[in-house]
Every structure is written in C-alpha cells, then in structure tokens.
Structure 1
C-alpha cells in the first residue's frame, strides 16, 4: 500500500471528523435493520443462504473490536471468548443458528461497548502512522465492513416473510427516457487505484489496461425488456443458456427473476413484504449471472468485461483521466445515484442525469449491482492487505464480478473502482446487468 505525504493538522482533523460521521451513519443503519424486527426475527434464519440478523450484528462488533480496539488501539479485549463464534471462515452461514450466539440484548450491549472504545481510540489515533492507520484506513475499512453487512442484512429482510417493517419513499421516475448504446473507442485507460486512501486491496494498484473498442448499453436492462425475454420463451430455450447455466435453470426451477409472480397477464414483484405491479422502466433485479448470460445471448449481445465496465464508468475521453465516480470527483448525493437505502428499490433508467459518465452511460453507480463476464482475479502487482481473507482466498474460484453498487449500498463502500463478487447462481443479492458487444468493422 503506497502512503501519501503526512497531512497537516487540519487535514487530520477533517479525516477524524469524516471517520466519526461514516461510523455513525453505518450504526444508524444497523439499528434500523435490527430494531425494526422482534427478537424472534432477529434470531431466526430466514434463508440457508443468510445468517440470522443477530449473528451479523455481533459480527460487526467483533470485527470492529479486533481491528480498531485491539490492533489500532492496543486495548484489552472486550470479548475475546467470542472471536471464534463470529469468524465467518470457521462457520458456514447455514450452521450459524446452531451456535451459542449472543442473544439480541447481549449483542446490542456488546456492539455499543465496542463503539465507545473505538471513539476513544479515534480521538488519539496517529493518522499519519503506518499503512493500517494512514489517513484512517482501518477505520474506513471497518465502516465499509459494517455497511457491507448492512446490505447483507437488507437482503435478509427481503427474504423474510411477514408484514413489512421497512419503509422508504418510492425511487424516482426518469425525467426523460434513455436507451440505446454508446461506442467507446479502443485505447488504454488507468484501471484500479493507488491513490484512494480507503480503497481495499483488490482495487489496487492502478495499472494501465488496453481495452479494444466496444459498445455498451446506456442503461441497465429493464423489467420490461426482461419480461420480453420471458415472453419469447427465454427460460425454455436451452440454446440461449450455457451448459452450466441450463443445468442450474432446470435444477433450481428458474422461470423468472426471484420475487416475480405472474397474475393473469401482469407481472408483480414482492419487495420487503410489499407486492406491487412491476415498474417497467426499473432495472431488473434479483437475477443470477446465468440468467444475465442467457438474456444477453437472446439479445445478440454479451455481458461487459470488468475492464469495459470500469472504462465506461471512469474514463474521460477529453482528458484521458480516470474519474473516481462516473460524474467526477464529488461524493454521491440524491441527484447523482440511488445509494444508501434511500429507496427500497431501483430507480427508473434515466432517473439520474446528473450521474451520467463522461462516456454518456447512465446509472453505473447505485440501483443494481451489475454482473460482468469476468472472473474475480488479482490485479497485476496485487498485495494482500491487511489480511488474505478479504480478497486473496477468493481469487481463482467460481466467482463472477459485480460492479457499481445497488440501492442498498452505502457510498462509503461504492466507487468507480470498487469490486464485488459472488457465485454465478446467486439471486438474493440486489443484482441486475447491462449489455455490451464487440464493434463491427465499420465502427472501429
């Protein structure tokens, strides 16, 4: 990890204030997700794919204790006896309900005690120190970790049965419809980052990548477009699916995106306990990589590579620079992206014209994670930091890249370089996709 020059006092205090704010924002969200349900829902396993909410809650506190209280702060352990219980690598999700977990009151008390100590550590931490604390990296890593688990808990809420407990205003409509595709010329661009102080190890280092010319859709695939695929027999035509994809479609009995239901000639979707007609111009969500691959073949296109996706999101043809976000350097807000659980659904395509990339592509940040064709691999020059289990142990496995974040992703865990990954069969995540294609000779 490359360190920048030491900051002056005012820079350090701004960093300290930012850390306090992102930690507080994450904790507010954690409370919403855990206080909105009763004790029975907190300890229940709503799907074998997910942990009980109370496990996620205490795990958030345990990671914060390990890294910020013990490692950065050098303080005595709060609860060393529970480290193994909340080690995600020691216990698969399906087995976690059988563990002697902290009950809801104990978990809440634990995370509260840990946070008090963390804020004391923050007051005196040397933010010009080694790589773990430089510019507040460890604090940023933990804020991102909590928000990632908040999004996981939001997915658990989507899977739970019962009366709705979460609410948010509807996602915005599009002022002007958008569609079609843009052509991005062949050439090099700088992928990844070395400069972003809170970027995680798999985003590093920045490195030049030559990307052949390609076309990419201006917007993600919508519900209406995906419904046309279903109507044309997309789930009944093995020629549209890879061999593995068709086997999974048959074994899992896939006939539509998860949470879709047909009633007469209309499609409905259930989201967080509320059943409503599909909004046709929203990006489709809750589809696995195999479904996205089959749709792409049906449409005569393909999924973008990870490098294509990032070039479309970050490359500025006028300057040759790679931006932090599609729209520039400024942090996301309600005008540029649908993030942070502000809404409990994707916005219609075209709803954020202020967030368009320099290449003319919409909604690359927020709304839905976007499946890419690429596997999850290390960048050239990768170094595991601060632990192998965040990224390195997943390289080379059966994972596909997801980019861009969703309506359930917080801005601290979302930027143009941020990389997510999952198995190609996963549908409980807030994932959709957009299409790309190779250029014809006359377009090059």
Structure 2
C-alpha cells in the first residue's frame, strides 16, 4: 500500500478491486455523483487550446442541479486531441471525464515528458456560485503504457495537488510509480507514472488507478500526460493520442448548502526582509475576518496579524494581503504560514500550510545576469542534489508574472528564462524554488 498525504489528515483506504474504487464512503450522497453524459459546449477560448473553457450541463441533479466548467489551464509538450470521448459518436462512460491527449511532436526521438493541466469546477445552477461541497474524490483511471526496447517506455502520467490523501492499490500491488513532488504553475504537484503494461480499453483495474481525496473544495486542478524514455528502443514516429479517464464524486454538501469561504488562491512570497501573504476568495458567506498565522517549526503557530477586510474582485469574492515585517524573520531560515478564517458565529477553519525559505539553502547560491536585463535572464547556481526546480519572476506586490520549470543536476546549473521583453521597466524578484520552498531570491531590474 502507498499512502502519501499533504496534511496531517490521514486516510487508511486500501484499493483491492474495481468495485471498491467505484464505491464511496459511508454518508456520501449517492445522488451527487457527477455524470458527463452530455456533449460539452465551448464557452470561451479556442477549442482544445490553452485557456479553453468547456461547460457540462446537469452533471448533478439532486439535491440541487449543478453544472461543471472544465478549463485547459496549461499545455506543456502535449496537445488535447478531443476534450471528451463523448464527442465521438456519444461513446464513453457517463460517469467519467475522458479527454484524448497526444504528444505535441510528430516524432519522439529522445526523452520527453508532456502534460496538460485541467481544472474542474462545480457550480450551483441556481446561484452560479461554486457548489459548497466537501469530501470530493478524484479518480484517475487506466494509467498504463508500454515498453520501448528493454530500458525505455511510454507511460501515461497523472499529477494532483492540494489533496488530503492519495491512495494507490495494495492488493494486487500497484503498477504505478511514485515519481515524487515538484512545483509548476504555482502548485506543488505529486506525480505518478503509469504501468508499462497495457490494460484493455479504459480500464477500471485498481492497480493502474490513482485516487485523490479532498476536504472542502468545489474545484480540482489535475494534470494528465505522458513520459517517454527512449532507452535502447527506437524513435516513436507519429504517436497517436491515448484515452484518459477521470471520475469526480463521493462528495457531500456542506452545512446544508452554505460554505463560509471558498478560496481562489493563497500564496506567500519573500519581499526584501518581509513576507507578503496574499489570498483571493471566490465566495464568502458569514465571514468575519482572517488571522494570518506563522510558525518556524510547522507545529507551533501564532498570530502574525489580523485582516478584517479586502478589496472586491468579483460579485462574491475579495482580494486580501498581509505584509509580515516581524524582526524574527531575520533570524530564521524558513517560515510557515496558514490562514485562520473566523465566521461571524466564532467558528474557525484553516487553510493549507505554505512554506517560505527566508535564507538561501546551504549548498545553493544563485547568480543572475544580465542585471539590468532586456529580454531574458540567466540563473546560475550550484545545487547540492539533483531534482526539479522552478524559476519565478515576481513583482513588488508578490504577484508571479512568469514561471518556468527546469530539471537540475547536482553541481553547477544554468537556467535561461526567456520571454521577459513584455515586462514593464522596473524592479522585480527572481526566485529559485525547489520542492515548493523558495530557496533564494535576487532583485533584478528590467530596462
């Protein structure tokens, strides 16, 4: 059994059969299992391209009607061939979202990984607000593939973020490979690579299924794609699309249909000798105020500040920020932040915990050039270990303007960040991030 958790909340489920993978925990509203039986309509953006948004009507009809919006958030070395197999002769499984994804290259002649980032958000048809649900379970089915020679492969991939628990099969043993954590597009991802053994059709076999469980969340962000390793095999010419499948369900409704706060974003970044904590809400009901809590050991949290109100950003949500100028920050290498949201009746809920590195990690020193810059930056640093790094360009308000993922090796590394010519002249911060933690910051100037 493999269990990986992103919070202290634990789940000890073992998947042993396709029947169990389809079942929901006790207390789940059995009517609230989304069905994607209709053909989705394109509501914004260009079809199958990054930024495209599709709408599924009547995915849930009891106890109230909900629709779902699917957005192609990001495209990286892959392409969406079809948003859902149901577009093709009304085929597929009613309960599943089934996109078709292929590599963006016509020939794979070297190691290559491609991923599509999707978001799925459920809305109340009556209010057009995000549906107040909890206990959502996301299941990624049929993560398989094939071998390429004796040392290479083509594996389907799946990545999840902000999950309470992640579950893979134990009996029979999972065929999924835990490929570790990495950061991209502002998320800390847990990534899994599929089997190198094909399973027939769109399989529900538990050994090639990944289940992620969530608390209060009307929206889920996930990635689907591939990992190709040539090994001693041949090039892969004209790779065709592969069928992916996911199910969303097993949720219940919060407090009879009301949820105090739904978050669109939550982030914390180093800004000179302070930390800027910022968050945006999508919906607020009976919210009194927020407390920003800080810890230096991820166990003992104290209140760093209180935020009573924010600025309206849409009809139902607001934008907030808090600048932590505590002198204690100068004495610590790392700080941890979370939000405590207080209702008007005194009840409190907590967000996930964010980690911010306040001092450069030993073994990693970053140099940035040219500085000032015009169109690109070169970041040079020594890394104590191999892994995945993310480079962010951040403005003085703590907003991430550009993000680039890079694979680094132990020792000296150089990463070039292009596409900066569109930035307004002024001062910015270049951040080096590893495993979700800011390792180093350098101020840079755009001419």
Answer whether TM exceeds 0.5 for this pair.
no
Greater relative contact order, per chain length (Cα 8 Å cut-off, separation 6+): 1
Quickly name the TM-score band, shorter chain normalised: under 0.3
Higher strand content, 1 or 2:
2
TM-score w.r.t. length of structure 2: 0.21
TM-score w.r.t. length of structure 1: 0.21
Higher helix content, 1 or 2:
1
